């Protein structure tokens, strides 16, 4: 007379999975792009510090900073030089003082490398100490 049914039916499992899918989709839309922007901003800051470290090594060996970050490859940084994680554009590198590129050989004694943070819109720069 009585059947001893243990477990869930296929319909019950499908309904519960559907409810979970709707809840997770709603949760993901609530979170938005913020965590991704934060992760890319963290990567930008790390990249700027990595390039600054390679520039310091270059200066210790050669007595000045290079005119471009491409000069750091392969002795001071692995190829390719880090770029913006969102669009792959190069970070803004400026050797200084102004006019140092016009000397022969170039004698750049300062540098600034910058990028704009995605989440805050702030311009973050790293320069030689």
Query: Does residue 77 fall inside a structural domain?
Result: yes
User: Which residues are 92's β-sheet partners?
Assistant: 114
- Give the separation between CA 122 and CA 85, rounded to whole angstroms: 16
Structure tokens at 118: 């995605």
**Alpha carbon 33 to chain centroid distance?**
15
User: Which residues are 77's β-sheet partners?
Assistant: none
Structural domains counted in the chain: 1
Three-state secondary structure call for residue 37: helix
**The whole model's pTM is what?**
0.72
Nearest to 62 by CA among 111, 105, 112, 126: 105
> Token match 């692995």: residue?
78
Query: Does residue 58 fall inside a structural domain?
Result: yes
Query: Domain of 117?
Result: 33-127
Choose between 97 and 105: higher pLDDT.
97
pLDDT at residue 94 in the model: 92
Mean pLDDT of the chain: 86
Residue 6: is its pLDDT beyond 70? yes
- Over range 88-108, report the average pLDDT: 84
Query: Does residue 102 fall inside a structural domain?
Result: yes
Residues 33-83 pLDDT 10s: 778 888 899 999 999 999 999 999 999 988 889 999 998 999 999 889 999
């Amino acid at each position: 007379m009585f059947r001893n049914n243990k477990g869930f039916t296929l319909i019950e499992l499908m309904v519960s999975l559907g409810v979970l899918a709707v809840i997770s989709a709603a949760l993901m839309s609530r979170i938005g792009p913020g965590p991704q922007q934060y992760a890319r901003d963290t990567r930008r800051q790390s990249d700027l510090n990595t390039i600054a470290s390679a520039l310091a090594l270059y200066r210790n060996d050669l007595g000045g900073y290079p005119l471009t970050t491409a000069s750091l490859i392969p002795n001071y940084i692995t190829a390719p030089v880090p770029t913006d994680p969102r669009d792959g554009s190069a970070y803004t590198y400026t050797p200084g003082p102004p006019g140092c590129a016009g000397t022969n050989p170039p004698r750049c004694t300062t540098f600034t490398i910058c990028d704009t943070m995605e989440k805050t819109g702030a311009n973050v720069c790293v320069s030689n100490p």
